[in-house]
């Protein structure tokens, strides 16, 4: 018998890979649905929130569109902040409100509730706010004010997880800053935020946004001076912010002068050279005379080599430092008031530093011998001008020296 071949199917079987087919994006329908919810509830945000909660809309996909509807009443054209010409709109948005706290706060609280139920939407809020803040020039002045009030209230209400850098960093676009738009916005923001929060709260917020030391970056380059900052914020009633900035600038300049002085002392530069360098920096920084005296003493004591094996060696090191740099102190203690300030400074440090506690009378005597302190100044301090810190013990410790001064005065 001959075997027959079994029949086979012709052709080649092709395996097809299964893949997910993405549904096309339809933000327009989503936007219209949200707008309709606003319209059906006549803008009552409590009712709007309930309707949204019970809906089956795809917020995870259209989160950005949702916040566009919240802010401007409808969807924006792709890549812009212009409202889409087609599609529904509602008149209850943030930008349709009055530019007042009472009108905008309900929207902030409404967003807060929405984020608590759908925390994944925080990223969409960031995206939309960043887009709007980077496009401030395309909003009307009144609309920018509303955005500033909204932003301030958002931080006052601690809107879930909204990072400060989301607000502050997008503002620093050169074209926005140069036109003064950023300064106007941030001024409204500061004024609104400080109605309910302290200056410390604001500084903490600026610090998180990496702006606490950079307030001048909000100003156009032509006005980027401390004087312009003080004038602007004083005019706007933000004097506490002016005082804070002045303090920060003072600390920066003080640090610079201290660094220069410390370097020159360590390099054992000539007193005349050090004096001129400090005088120039003090003049440029417009530093108060009293602060200069305090700073000089601090730097001189910080430069002492406190490595002695006993108290006597440390005392000797401190006194050598005073003698070596007495000429520098003398150059800046140019009045009885400044001399008295130096004594106060010495007294305070001796009170607070155990190494110097018993050294007070010797330091005063050395400063007198080196012509830094006048006799009249020392007697004034002794009789009625001493600082409360350690007054009794220091007055008593200086008594023998004062007695000697008085006897010498009588002999003359």
Q: In this predicted structure, what is the pLDDT of residue 328?
A: 94
Pair 367, 388: CB distance under 8 Å: no
> Residue 362: its pLDDT value, please?
94
Give the DSSP per-residue string, 264-317: HHHTT--HHHHHHHHHHHHHHHT--HHHHHHHHHHHHHHTS----SSHHHHHHH
Residue 241 CA to residue 160 CA, distance in Å, equals: 26
Count of beta carbons in the 10 Å neighbourhood of residue 86 = 10
The predicted structure's pLDDT at residue 411: 60
Q: For position 20, what pLDDT does the model report?
A: 44
Query: Which residues partner with 76 through β-bridges?
Result: 83
How much is the pLDDT for 16? Answer: 46
Q: Cα separation of 202 and 187, whole Å? A: 12
CATH of region 27-240, choose from 1.10.10, 1.10.8, 3.90.105, 1.25.40: 1.25.40
Indicate the fold that domain 246-410 takes in CATH. Answer: 1.25.40
- Decide: 377 and 340 in contact? Cβ < 8 Å: yes
Dist. CA 78–CA 76, nearest whole Å: 6
- As a whole number of angstroms, the distance between CA 307 and CA 313 comes to 8
Tokens of 146: 């509303």
54-57 contacts: CB < 8 A, separation 24 or more? Answer: 57/30, 57/33
Among 340, 359, 338, 339, which residue's Cα sits nearest to residue 350? Answer: 359
Rounded to whole angstroms, what are the CA distances from 178 to 141, 153, 183, 221? 16, 26, 9, 7
Q: Are 279 and 317 spatial neighbours (Cβ–Cβ below 8 Å)? A: no
Residues near 274 by beta carbon (within 8 Å), at least 6 away in sequence: 261, 264, 265, 328
Six-digit token string for 252: 């920066």
For 254, phi then psi, to 5°, come to: -60, -45
Q: Are 232 and 183 in contact (CB under 8 A)?
A: yes
* CA atoms lying within 13 Å on the CB side of residue 199: 8
Comma-separated ranges of CATH 1.25.40.180 domains in the chain: 246-410
pTM of the model: 0.74
Closest CA to 398 of 351, 344, 362, 349: 362
Backbone angles phi, psi at 76, to 5 degrees: -90, 160
From first to last of the 412 residues of the chain, give the pLDDT tens digit: 455 555 555 555 555 454 443 444 588 899 999 999 999 999 999 999 999 988 889 999 999 999 999 999 999 887 778 777 778 899 999 999 999 999 999 999 999 999 999 999 999 999 999 999 999 999 999 999 999 999 999 999 988 667 888 888 888 899 999 999 999 999 999 999 999 999 999 999 999 888 877 889 999 999 999 899 999 999 999 999 999 988 888 888 899 999 999 999 989 899 999 999 999 998 888 888 999 999 999 999 998 877 766 778 888 888 999 999 999 999 999 999 999 999 999 999 999 888 888 899 999 999 999 999 999 999 999 988 666 777 888 889 999 999 998 887 666 5
């Amino acid at each position: 018998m001959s075997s027959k071949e079994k029949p086979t199917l012709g052709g080649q079987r092709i395996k097809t890979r299964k893949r997910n087919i993405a549904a096309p994006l339809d933000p327009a329908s989503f936007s219209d649905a949200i707008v309709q919810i606003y319209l059906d509830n006549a803008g009552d945000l409590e009712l709007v929130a309930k309707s949204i909660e019970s809906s089956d809309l795809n917020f995870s996909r259209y989160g950005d569109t949702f916040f566009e509807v919240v802010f401007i009443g409808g969807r924006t054209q792709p890549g812009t902040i212009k409202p889409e010409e087609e599609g529904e709109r509602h008149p209850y948005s943030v930008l349709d409100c009055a530019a007042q706290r009472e009108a905008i706060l309900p929207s902030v609280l409404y967003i807060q509730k929405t984020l608590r139920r759908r925390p994944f939407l925080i990223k969409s809020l960031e995206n939309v706010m960043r887009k709007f803040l980077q496009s401030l020039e395309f909003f009307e002045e009144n609309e920018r004010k509303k955005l500033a009030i909204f932003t301030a209230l958002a931080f006052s209400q601690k809107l879930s997880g909204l990072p400060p850098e989301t607000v502050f960093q997008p503002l620093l676009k050169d074209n926005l800053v140069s036109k003064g738009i950023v300064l106007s916005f941030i001024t409204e923001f500061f004024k609104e935020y400080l109605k309910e929060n302290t200056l410390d709260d604001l500084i903490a917020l600026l610090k998180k946004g990496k702006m606490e030391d950079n307030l001048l970056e909000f100003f156009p380059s032509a006005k980027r001076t401390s004087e312009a900052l003080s004038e602007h914020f004083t005019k706007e009633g933000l004097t506490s912010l002016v005082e804070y900035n002045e303090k920060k600038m003072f600390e920066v300049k003080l640090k610079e002068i201290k660094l220069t002085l410390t370097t020159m002392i360590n390099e054992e530069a000539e007193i005349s050279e050090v004096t001129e360098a400090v005088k120039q920096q003090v003049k440029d920084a417009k530093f108060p005379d009293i602060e200069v005296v305090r700073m000089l003493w601090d730097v001189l004591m910080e430069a002492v080599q406190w490595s002695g094996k006993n108290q006597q060696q440390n005392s000797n090191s401190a006194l050598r430092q005073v003698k070596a740099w007495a000429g520098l102190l003398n150059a800046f203690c140019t009045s009885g008031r400044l001399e008295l300030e130096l004594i106060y400074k010495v007294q305070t440090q001796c009170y607070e530093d155990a190494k110097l506690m018993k050294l007070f009378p010797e330091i005063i005597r050395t400063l007198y011998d080196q012509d830094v302190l006048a006799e009249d100044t020392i007697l004034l301090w002794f009789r009625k001008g001493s600082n409360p810190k350690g007054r009794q013990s220091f007055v008593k410790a200086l008594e023998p020296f004062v007695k000697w001064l008085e006897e010498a005065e009588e002999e003359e």
